Structure 1
Amino acid sequence: MNEQKGNTGPLPEGTDEDPPVVGDREGQDQEEGYWLKNRNELNRDGVPYSEWDDSRMLVPSSLELGPGAVDKYVISKQIVRMQEPRRLTTDDMDERRIVYPESANRALVNRFRDLRTKLLELSGGNNFTIVVSATERGAGASFVSLNLAAAFAFDQSKTAVVIDCNLREPSLHATLDIMPETGLTDFLDDSDYDIARILYPTGIPRLRLIPAGSRRETPSEFFTSFRMKQFLQAVRRRYPDRFIVLDTAPVTESPDARILSELCDYAMLVLPHGRVTPTTVEQAATAFNPQKFVGTVING
């Protein structure tokens, strides 16, 4: 992996919810996360839903928080309390090729641990936002995005969020058996939308998903919006314990990855093994700011 200097910044803490079942609600909003409606109930481990409502720790609707808004000690205590309304089994993880510390596929686990370590060295130990894109469809950008986020969540003092920014062909929700009714585009489209409605537990400890949301014909307009910039800035600076991974459409087919990389700290390119020419790689890599481009990952 080729490493170059990039801009880094601290990040935020995340959310715990029930499976992403969204129900009807009377009043101003018609939809609300299932867990939001059941705060006083217990999950199967006997933990009140309110114990894993950490969305309020992330980004409030105003998105107006300055650096150091939350004490690190409070954050670490909240991370320890984070609960999963459901857990993916080891068989589930193996079937989906998701890394976890006890996995028998040590080679795969170690590759993502090594990638995580190199990125942490590059950032000087600071948390960061990173865009993951590919040279073509099927290259494995979503696979790398999810597993990189999962590797960051290995650390019990850290959390991670993976955001599905491939609005044309979102896939992370399907991989994680999540059926969201709302997501990123819904949040960006409505200034009063609550972040809690788009953060979903993945079944993986300390890892959350923001799904793509309603399909839109012009995704680039969402990513160039001030609200997207404001959202990512707030997410980056509020907490020092969260890593944000953005899964995007292939950089050769869409400007989305390039646009988002300007809002993030780093950009990474995924190459399909044996299916791409040096010229294609060079063209794809030059789409990113060289100060933010951290290198390539060969998948296959």
Structure 2
Amino acid sequence: MSIIEKARAKQQQKNLETSVKEAQYSLEKESIKEPIYASPKHELPLDKIGLAERGYLIDNGTRKSIKDEFRKIKRILLNNAFGKAAKTLHHSNLIMVSSAKPNEGKTFVAINLALSIALEQDKTVLLVDADVLRPSVMRELGIEEQLGMIDYLLGKTEHVSDIIYNTDINKLKLIPAGKLHHLSNELLASEKMATLANELANRYPDRIVIFDCPPLIGVTETLVLANLMGQAVIVVEESKTSIVDIQAATEHLNENLALGLVLNKAIRSHKDLYGYYGYGYGYGTKN
């Protein structure tokens, strides 16, 4: 082979190697996909007019006695969550709201507590619809159902942030219940739920998390949730809830819970839809 032929063959080999490298680089470049980021969720607007008409604590510049009643209640809860009592409570900033039986106003109290705490200057609040049997928080707020807690526990979404929604009230966030599921008890008793509760309790030092739970009597899910909480608010309807019902509802609760009772639907004046008074609080006191 002549010198010219050798040089030509060498150049052809070099061109072939360059083409192969370029093809490999092109394939590698195509295979490197840009990271997929979930599109940010839109802020959920609350039906503030409808809420105010139904007695909820929308901040419209007026002062009613019901607002002061909830201030008294939330002050105790906040002191327990962030004061000296916090050292004696597990997950002191996780608060369950329940009742002995349905229709005693637990959701009304849970939402109003969240709205009241959202007015705090240095605190935020996360309202969780944990009534996985009859969820109603989103409906009460005038919001369509969204992906929620049960969906997360089922693995339908990977990140906790996917089920936390901002609202048009600056310091209020929501976690919906999610779709109904026949294994709700087992899902709430899972290690994944315990991890979720721990994350919600510890991620933000200024946050209160309120769980609107199912009633206590005749339901097993609430006692499962209670084991993850630091505080419990039991709603008692005036002239309806009996002492026997209250005892039955609270006798199996964790003795380490800070336990309080709220007297609900006590008509006090023509100006207020509801009155709240006779609020008691204690630690493991069920008598």
Task: Verify same fold: TM over 0.5.
Answer: yes
Q: Match of 2:112, SS?
A: helix
- Aligned ranges 1:10-159 → 2 under 5 Å: 36-37=38-39, 85=43, 87-88=45-46, 91-102=49-60, 104=62, 106-125=64-83, 128-159=93-124
CA shift in 2, pair 1:157/1:192, >3 Å: same
Gaps of 5+ in 2: 1-35, 87-91, 266-287
* Paired residue type of 1:189: L
Shift of residue 253, structure 1, vs aligned partner: 2.2
> Which segments of 5 or more consecutive residues in structure 1 lack a partner in the other structure?
1-28, 40-52, 54-83
Aligned residues: 223
The 8 Å contact of residues 188 and 225 in structure 2, kept in 1 or not, is answered as yes
The higher-RCO structure (CA 8 Å, 6+ apart) is 1
TM-score by length of 2: 0.71
| Pairing 1:211–2:176 present | yes
Alignment partner of 2:259: what SS? Answer: strand
Residues 189/108 of structure 1: CA separation in 2 closer, same or farther (3 Å cut) = same
**Against the structure 1 CA distance between its residues 164 and 88, is the aligned structure 2 distance closer, same or farther, given a 3 Å change threshold?**
closer
- Structure 1 residue 158 displacement after superposition: 1.5
Alpha carbons 1:100, 1:154 under 8 Å: kept: no
Task: Name the CA shift for 1:237/1:181 in 2 (closer, same or farther; >3 Å).
Answer: closer
Aligned mates of 1:169, 1:203 — CA distance in 2: 25
Task: Say yes or no: does 1:231 pair with 2:189.
Answer: no
1:275 aligns with 2:240: yes
Query: Are 1:168 and 2:133 an aligned pair?
Result: yes
Contact 2:43 2:167 in 1 (8 A): no
CA 1:204/1:294 → structure 2, altered by over 3 Å: closer, same or farther?
A: same
Residue 112 of structure 1 aligns with an amino acid whose one-letter code is F
Deviations 1:222-255 (A, max 9, x none): 1100000001101111211111011111100212
Show the counterpart of 2:25.
Answer: none
Match of 1:166, SS?
coil
In structure 2, the CA distance between the partners of 1:218 and 1:86, relative to structure 1 (3 Å rule), is: closer
Amino acid at match of 2:71: R
Partner of 1:20: none
Counterpart of 2:272 in structure 1 is none
Distance across 1 between alignment mates of 2:244 and 2:228: 26
2:217 is the alignment partner of 1:252: yes
Partner residue of 2:231 out of 241, 261, 266: 266
1:92-138 Cα shifts (integer Å, max 9, x gaps): 33124221344535111111111011122333435600111111110
State the secondary structure of the residue aligned to 2:168: coil
Q: More helix by proportion, 1 or 2?
A: 2
* Change in 2 beyond 3 A, CA 1:275/1:124: same
Partner residue in 2 for 1:289: 254
> 1:175–1:117: structure 2 CA closer, same or farther, 3 Å change rule?
same
CA RMSD of aligned residues (A): 2.3
| Residues 254/137 of structure 1: CA separation in 2 closer, same or farther (3 Å cut) | same
Q: Amino acid of the residue matched to residue 157 of structure 1?
A: D
